[in-house]
Each structure stands twice: as C-alpha cells, then as structure tokens.
Amino acid sequence: MRLLRPLFAAAVLLSTVLPVFAEEGEPSPADSPTGWVFRWINFAIVLALVIYGFRKAAPRFRARTERISERIAEGTRARERAERERAEAEAKFAGVEKEVAELRAEAERGVQAEVQRLRALARAEAEMIERAAQAEIAAAERAARLELKGLAARLAVERAEARLRKEMTPQSEAVLFGSFVAELEGRLN
C-alpha cells in the first residue's frame, strides 16, 4: 500500500505534465491515433488505480462509517436517556413543591392539635390544682376549727378548774365526797 501511493502520484503527475513538454509548432503526438490509444490506456490505468484504491479503502470507510454510526446511536441513546432523566427530575421537582406544601399544612395541623392538647392539659391541671387547693383550704379550715374547739375546751376546762378551786372549800369537798360515796353504795345494792 505504501508503494502504490507514490506510484499513483507519479503516474498522475506524468500524465498531466507530459503534454507540456511537447514542442510547439509540430503536430501534437497526442492528436494522432497513437496518442488517442495512449490516452485511453492512461485513462484505463488511472481508472483501475482509482477503483483499486476505493476497493482497498472501502473496508476502512465501512468500518469508519460503522464507528460513526455507532457513535451517533450512542449519542442518540445518551440524549434520550438525558431527556428521560431531565423529565423525571422536572416531575420530581414539581412533586417536591406539592410535597412541601402538604408537609407545611400537616405541620400546621400538628401544631394546632398540639396547642389544643396543651391548652386542655393546662386547663385540666389548673382545675386539679384548684381542687387540691380547695381541699387543702377545707382541711386547714377543719384543722383550725378542731384546734379552736380544742383551745376553747381547754380554756373552758381551765376556767372551770380555776372557778372550782376558788369555790371549793374543804367543807364542799366533804359534801361532794359524801354524795359520791352514797351514790356508789346505792349502785352496789
């Protein structure tokens, strides 16, 4: 193949340069019947070389054409895949906005429910604290009344004791003791 290219180039060069070397004034040998035969032979050689070159290069052209076709097909598949991924991403992005709105609404509902629950819990605790406070007040009131009654009773006993001491003389003690003994005797019988 390396040898054919320079030979082909030389043949083309000679066929184009040869007429230039012809002398002027003389009839051109190219116009003679022999010249026409050489022209047709030259044409046949050039045509054979061109056909030979195309046949030799055809597998490379086919292989290159196939590689180019494969690359075009790969490019087409990659473009289709990218388009599909882009469409999926756009669909997901559109869905994200909707999901965010739904999450916000759900969060707002959750916050409102939590606020209501905390308010109800606070009311229940306040009522429980109020009942406990009323119970403590009632218990403190009962304790104060009992203490007051106990204090009143103790004071009454102390006054009665003081009064009795004042009024109790040895004679009244003897009378009281005598009536007590008589009462006991009457019970025994």
Prediction pTM value: 0.34
| Phi and psi torsions of 26, nearest 5° | -80, 150
Counting residues of the chain whose pLDDT is more than 90, the rounded percentage is 33
Cα–Cα distances in Å, from 96 out to 75, 90, 178? 31, 10, 109
Residue owning tokens 């218990």: 139
pLDDT digits over 75-105, tens only?
999 999 999 999 888 887 777 778 888 889 9
pLDDT for res 73: 93
**Domain locations in the chain as residue ranges:** 8-16+28-139
pLDDT for res 22: 55
Query: What letters, b where the CB count within 10 A reaches 16 and e where it falls short, cover 84-98?
Result: eeeeeeeeeeeeeee
Tokens of 47: 């045509």
Residues in CB range of 49: below 8 A, 6 or more apart = 4, 8, 11
Residues in CB range of 8: below 8 A, 6 or more apart = 49, 53
pLDDT for res 29: 63
Q: What is the mean pLDDT of the chain?
A: 84
Query: What letters, b where the CB count within 10 A reaches 16 and e where it falls short, cover 151-177?
Result: eeeeeeeeeeeeeeeeeeeeeeeeeee
Q: How far apart are CA 162 and CA 167, in angstroms?
A: 9
pLDDT digits over 34-51, tens only?
878 888 898 999 999 988
**Low-confidence spans in the chain with pLDDT less than 50:** none
pLDDT for res 21: 60
pLDDT for res 25: 54
Q: How far apart are CA 103 and CA 96, in angstroms?
A: 10
pLDDT for res 183: 85
pLDDT for res 176: 79
